[in-house]
Each structure stands twice: as structure tokens, then as C-alpha cells.
Chains A and B, each alone.
Chain A
Amino acid sequence: MLWPRSAEKEYSRIQTRRRVIATVVKRARLLCGLLVVLGIAAIVALPQVAQKTYFSENSLLTASAKAIYSKDDLKQQNAFLDRITKDSSAFRDEVQTIMEEIGLETHRTNTYIYGVHHAPRSDGVEAIVLSSPITSSEKGVALVLGLARFATHQRYWAKDIIFLVADNQGAQDFLADYMGPAVRLPRGGLIQANLNIVMTTGTNFSHISVLHHGYLGRQPNLDFINVAVHTGAAAGATTFVEGVDKKTGNHSKLWRFLKGQATMSRDEHDRVHDAFLMRNIDAISLKAIPAKKGSSFSKLSVPQDIEMILRSLNNLLEKFHQSFFFYVLLDNRTFISIANFMIPLFILWGAFVVDSVRLYNTVEFTAQEALGAGLAIVIFAVGLGLIEIFRAAYVPDWVQLVVIAVATLLQFLAQRFFQQEHNRTTKDKAAMDMMLSLVLPIALGHLMIQNYSISLISSAILAPMQVFLGHKSRLMVLSMWILTCTVIYPELLKSGLLDESVLENMLPPSLSLPSVVPATFLAVSYVAL
């Protein structure tokens, strides 16, 4: 088209294209089946290409400085612990009094209490947040207060440190106030990272678990997890990531991968670090997992671990930006990056594309109808693209819902507008089927970025369906799947009727409404026709 070609070359090009498409149409089922099998094989092979984690940020210098949190500091921390009792009405008063005794600038509302320690020799442009929820145990709060007292005696802070006591709702309120227009709050600069500590009652801990999954599948930068794992090892507090423990190393990589996917698909977002991740602030939670017998690390390990993490964060010059943002962790030192984990999904989605090619060629579509179909897909993809942009900026859920609803409606209208026959004929069904086949991979691709495990499980179920089931049954299964994930399963979990520990690795993923919105509206619109 762009340069003059001879007539013979043009003719042979068109001939080749026709031949290829004819083969594809004839062998569509075979090709789809092949792609599905290849995709499943790729999923099984995926954990084998996992890499060892490594530090990408040179300035972190993790665990180079010796931790100096001493027994005296621990004594003070325990003195604070004696003064605060979780369920008493004076709890918040007491915490605020302690913060003021330490010398922090404090502020308190119904849902959160925080204190700011300004770095004495720095310009106060950046801040780190150290937080603990109130709900699990006062030990976490005492730890935060003990570290606050320790921090005020150190001279090496380059960033302000904010000590926050709040649970998920409180953290959201804190961030709304802190980053909002209110003038009179004690402020410490832009928040670059959050470290959240969840302590449970009991004195014996087997290991520390790094919780890194957040709202809509967001995760902190991989370097942050590397820091936590490295300092844990240096401080004598063994650190694993969510869902992994000492015995995980004995299992195969594939088992670890699938278990990780089951954990990731849970999509819980009621923890403190989720509030920070929603606002694009790298955040992790360190949860101390109680041991069944014996104590595995000393009392100083956890405070020293946290001290070393804070020191590493202090060494940063900007927010974490060097390492991976999209990754899947097999265990605390093995990961798969997006470059690798998107390949099995692309192969599976190939089945959808092949099927749509078949449908397009079985029925006579006019050029106008083809244009309409193309336009519809573009509208849908743009709608999803907007969702991605909104995800980076903190746009409320309802706006995202509206945008995707409008996009779905528009694409439906566009396709129908251009179509010439509108009455349940073969062509009509074929047109709808083709649209479904093309739009579903786009929706699943969008899901992949939001929560890889949900996209993986959905693709692994829906792609074979494309091969073996007819149009109506496919729609039925799709709608049932979406309903289960969005409504039935979370409700069952909330009501307590499901015992997680028994079925842990076999349960379907749980989805929050915004993360499955595109597929929901899509299915509803087609079923309604």
C-alpha cells in the first residue's frame, strides 16, 4: 500500500492470505484446542523460569549499619505496653500522651492518632510512615511507640517519620486529611513509604510474614520486599512472604506458584497497607506469626529488624522506582516478572482470537458491519485504558464504574448500529459471538494488570470453554462464574459458612466489584439480548 508493488506480487499476497484464513477457518477448533493446551502447558512451565530476587536500587545499603536498638530501649517499650490497654476508653488518650512525652507533634481524631518526628538536620520534604493497627494487639502499638522514642534520639534521619496508630478505615481517613487541603495538621513532608506492623498476642513467633498484596492487586515495588527479607535475615527474625513458611521450600515450584495464586486471588483489602497502596505509596505489612511451640527469635529481633528497614528507607533519595512493580512471588527470594507471566495468558487468548476469525469468515459481513465491529472494540479498549489511567490517579470506584458502563454501552450500540440484520438470525448471533470473543481477552488483559491470579484462573477456565461449548452455554457459564466470584463467594466468606482452612487451595477467586466490572457489564449486556 505504501509503495508501488507489481500486480503479480499483490495477487500472490492476496492468495496467500486467503489460503491462510481458509486453513484457520477449517481447522479452527483444532487450532483453538492446540492453543489452549499450549497455554496450560505454559502455565505449568512458568514457575520454572522464576528468577532469584535482587536489589535494583543501589542507594538502599540494606543492613550495612548495625542495629543499635538496645535492651534499655526494650525496657522503655515494655513500660509503654504496661500503660496502654486496648479496650479501655482511655486508650487513645494514653497513646497521645505517650507520643507527646516522647516529643512528637501529635494529632488525633476518632479513627487515628499520629505523631510526627521532624528530622533535625534535613529539609523535611519527605516522610516515612510507621504504623500499627489497634485491632490485633497493643504490642504493635507499644513497638511503634518504643521505636518513636528511639528515633528521637538518633541523628541520622534524612526524612521525617510519622508514627501512626490506626486500622484500615483510620488509615484512609489519615491519608485523606494529610494529603488534603487542611492546613493546621502537623505535617512532615510527602509520604514516600509505609511500614505497617501487625503483632499478635503471645510471645513466641515462628517467623514474620510480609503482606504485600493490596487493593485491586496493587503491590509495592519489589525492592521494598527485598529490604524486609534481607533485614529480617540480618536481625535474626526470619521473614517470609504471604502464604509462605519454612516448609514451603520443600514443595515444588509449581505448587508454590499455584498456592501463591490462590492467596493473591483472595483480594483482601481491609488492612492498613492497602490504604497506602491505594494512594500509590509503597507499603508492606509485617505480621508476626505465632509459633506453636518454643520461641525462635529473641525479643530484640523484631525492633532491630524494623530499625534496619527504617534506616534503609532513610537512605533512599526518591520513592522506590528501580525494581519491578508487576511480579508474582513464589517465595521470599524467587519471583516471576510480568515479561514472563503474561506469555501463558497471551497464548490462551489466542484461542479467542482464532475463534473470532472463524466466526467472521463463516458469515458474510459487509464492510460497514466490519467497521462497526472494529469501532466497538476500539471504544471498549479505550474505556478500559481510561480505567488504567484512573487507577494510577486516585479516582473513586463509582467513576470507574460509570466509565466502564458507558464504554460497554457505547460499544454495544456501535456494533448494533452498523449491523444490518437485527433479528436473532445466524448472522446476528455470529456477530455477537465474535464480539464476545474479541472483547473478552481485552477485559482479561485489563484484569491481568489488576490482579494476575484472577485473570489467570478466569482465562484457564474460559479459554477451553471457547473450544468446547456453544454460544449460549458459554454465556451462561461466564455469567455464573462472574456471579460466584463477585457476590456468592464473598458473602459466604463473610457469613462464616465456608471454612477456609479446609478448602484453601481449591476455592475460586474472590473479586471486588471494580475489578470485574468490565466482564460483568459485558455478560449482562449480551445475555439481555
Chain B
Amino acid sequence: MKMLTLIVYICLTLVSCNELDLPKKFSDSTHTNNWAVLVDTSRFWFNYRHVANVLSVYRSVKRLGIPDSQIILMVADDMACNPRNPRPATVFNNANQNIDVYGDDVEVDYRGYEVTVENFVRLLTGRLPANTPRSKRLLTDEGSNILVYMTGHGGDGFLKFQDSEEITSIELADAFQQMWAKKRYNEIFFMIDTCQAASMFQKFYSPGILAVASSLVGEDSLSHHVDPAIGVYIIDRYTYYALEFLERVEPNSKKTMGEFMEVCPKRVCISTVGRRTDLFERDPYRVPITDFFGSVRRVEVSDAVVNLTLSADADSVVKKSAKKEKFRFGDLLPIDTLLSRTAKA
């Protein structure tokens, strides 16, 4: 009998652990938790593809394990409920309409007009008013790896928010530096899909940032295809090919960040993908993709036995609680006190 339990125990250990068995080629990760900040800055019906972009990345990131409590999703306009949408309550990222990236469990943290430059910078730096709910806060610490994905309309050195304001590359770089000074991140992976996207990461100067952009300065990022049933451009090229890559990634994937950054060569993307690796200490080709896109913990399973001895006091505590106590309802509302008080007033 004991042998059986031992065999079962060993089998269970081997099967159910969530340990990531990395081969030696991977460098050691130093993070303890994963966060994602996904931002769409465009509104209006003809910018449907930006919302589809950000929701697709949201789906991938959620699938690979980052929980909603650690994803900040900022969407500037409601495409699913736009009156021009012939498929109400859905957002698709492909003309074959296989996946509804909106679904019924999407949690948008900053919606509509809340997506502003001020709110974005406050979110990153943590300078939010005291009454901001937890879902709107970036509660990262020095062990957090953050994925920052931004999409919308951009230009040389700026990203347009909501057709009314812009965030410049310098503001963004300063925000990241504030985060570094406050020890709000371990490493950041910055991904941006806009026109002239590379201009946004050129001014970064904080350590630990790996960046990729869909186009270089002077180039436009193009959309992928039109959905004739809905009548809009439905997804951008860079995000389309990035998602193609991510769809083949599972939580135990051995793919690296370096491979991810090679996705979408010029012949399919038409624009040139820009990269920034000088601020990042590790070699991207030795960083597992789940370091940023998933929420995989290093788990060490030990079969060493630890002896615990209960103290004498503990025994008596156990005995006391074993006694059956009588329970009764307490007064939830001290009516007598209240009545007497009002009588006085």
C-alpha cells in the first residue's frame, strides 16, 4: 500500500508541476511577476483596426497567463457598440471572422475619453489620486516585467491621442525613467505599431528596456486587409504577423524574444521593423518569450521532507477549538440604542 502511494506520489509530481524546464541556453530571468499595459489611442469608426490590434494582443497575453488584475487595457473608443458596426457587440481581427476578440470577458480599464496623455503618464509613474481603484493602477514593483503595447496614429517623435493631443517621445522616455527611479519595473518590453513608430523609442535612456517598432522614421505602417462585410481595415500588418507568431506560442514555449523581434520582414510588412536592444542587458535571443508575454513562474519542486514539531501550547489550542460552542445571532442593528438616540434629538 505504501509502495503504491509512493508511486502515485512520484507520478503526480512528474505530471502536475508547472515547472518550466529550460535548457541551458536561456539566461536567468530575474523577474517575479508580469504586467501588461496595452494602449489604443485612436477613436472613430475608421480606426477600427487599432482597437482590433490592441484587443488581439490582450487576448494573446491573457491566454499565456497574465491575469486581468495585472493587465491595464486602455481603449479609446467603443467599436463593438458603434452604430456603424454591422456585427454589434463584436470586434474581429480577421476578415474570416474566426475570433471575436471582444468576447464577453474583456475588461477595459481606461475607456473612451479616459484615455489621455495625462492618465497614461500618471498610470506609468504611479502618481494617481488616492481614490483611484486598483484596476486602474499599475501596481508593479522592482521584480515586475512589463509589456507596453501602443497603437494608433503616430508621427516623427509623437503619438496622437484621441485626435486632440499628443505624447512626445521625450515625455515617454522621462516617464520610463521615473519608473526606473521608483523601482517600478525589472524589465520593459516596448512594442509600438504606428506610422514612424521607431521615433518613439529613440529617446529612451533608462536601463532594462527592449523595444520593437513597426516602422522606421519616415515610413508609414500599413494596414493588412479590408473586411468587405464590415467595411473597414480590420488589422495592421505588423500586429497581424506578430499575432501569427504568438498564436503558436504556448506557456511552455521555447521561443525567444529575439525570434519575436524578427517577425514581419520587409517583404510582408512593407515598412522596416525597428529594434532597440542597447538598453537591455541580456541577449534577446536567450530570453524566453514568456518572460514578457506570459506569466510563467519558476517553480522548484522539492521532495525533501521537512519535520515540523508542534509546541505544547498548540496542543491545547487544538483541544479548545474541538469543544462544541453554542452560537447565536448577534444584534445586527442596535435598534434600541438608535431609537433612544433619535428620541433625544
A contact residues vs B (CB 8 Å cutoff):
58-59, 61, 64-66, 119, 121-122, 154-158, 311, 314-315, 317
- The answer for the CA separation of A122 and B82 in the assembled complex, in Å, is 8
B83 touches which one: A58, A61, A65, A119 (CB < 8 A)?
A119
Highest count of chain A CB atoms <10 Å: which of B44, B81, B86, B233: B86
B231 touches which one: A61, A121, A155, A317 (CB < 8 A)?
A61
CB pair B84 A314 closer than 8 Å: yes
CB pair B230 A158 closer than 8 Å: no
B229 touches which one: A66, A157, A158, A314 (CB < 8 A)?
A66
CB pair A121 B83 closer than 8 Å: yes
Nearest A residue to B45 via CB reads A315
List 23 contacting pairs A-B, 8 Å CB cutoff, sorted by A: A58-B46, A59-B44, A61-B46, A64-B226, A64-B232, A64-B233, A65-B228, A65-B229, A65-B230, A66-B229, A121-B81, A122-B83, A154-B86, A155-B86, A155-B88, A156-B86, A156-B231, A157-B83, A157-B84, A314-B84, A315-B45, A315-B46, A315-B84
- Apart from the given pairs A64-B226, A66-B228, A155-B88, 9 other A-B contacts in the complex at a CB distance below 8 Å: A59-B45, A154-B86, A156-B85, A156-B86, A157-B83, A158-B45, A158-B84, A311-B231, A315-B45
User: B280-315, CB under 8 A of A: which get 1 and which 0?
Assistant: 000000000000000000000000000000000000
Question: B235 → chain A, closest Cβ, in Å?
Answer: 14
Question: A322 → chain B, closest Cβ, in Å?
Answer: 13
- The answer for the CA separation of A154 and B84 in the assembled complex, in Å, is 10
CB within 8 Å of A: which of B80-119? Answer: 81-86, 88
Within 8 Å CB of B83, what residues of A?
Answer: 119, 121-122, 156-158
B contact residues vs A (CB 8 Å cutoff):
44-46, 81-86, 88, 226, 228-233
Within 8 Å CB of B82, what residues of A?
Answer: 158
Within 8 Å CB of A314, what residues of B?
Answer: 84
Given A64-B226, A158-B83, are A121 and B46 also a contact pair (CB < 8 Å)? no
Nearest B residue to A154 via CB reads B86
Within 8 Å CB of B226, what residues of A?
Answer: 64
Nearest A residue to B48 via CB reads A61
Nearest first, the 7 A-B pairs at minimum CB distance are A65-B231, A66-B228, A122-B83, A158-B83, A156-B86, A121-B83, A59-B46
Nearest B residue to A308 via CB reads B231
Within 8 Å CB of B85, what residues of A?
Answer: 156
Question: A368 → chain B, closest Cβ, in Å?
Answer: 56
Highest count of chain A CB atoms <10 Å: which of B45, B84, B88: B84
CB pair B86 A121 closer than 8 Å: no
Within 8 Å CB of A158, what residues of B?
Answer: 45, 82-84
Question: B344 → chain A, closest Cβ, in Å?
Answer: 54
Nearest B residue to A58 via CB reads B46
Given A65-B230, A65-B231, are A317 and B86 also a contact pair (CB < 8 Å)? no
Within 8 Å CB of B44, what residues of A?
Answer: 59, 317
Within 8 Å CB of B232, what residues of A?
Answer: 61, 64
Nearest B residue to A311 via CB reads B231
CB pair A156 B84 closer than 8 Å: yes
Within 8 Å CB of B81, what residues of A?
Answer: 121
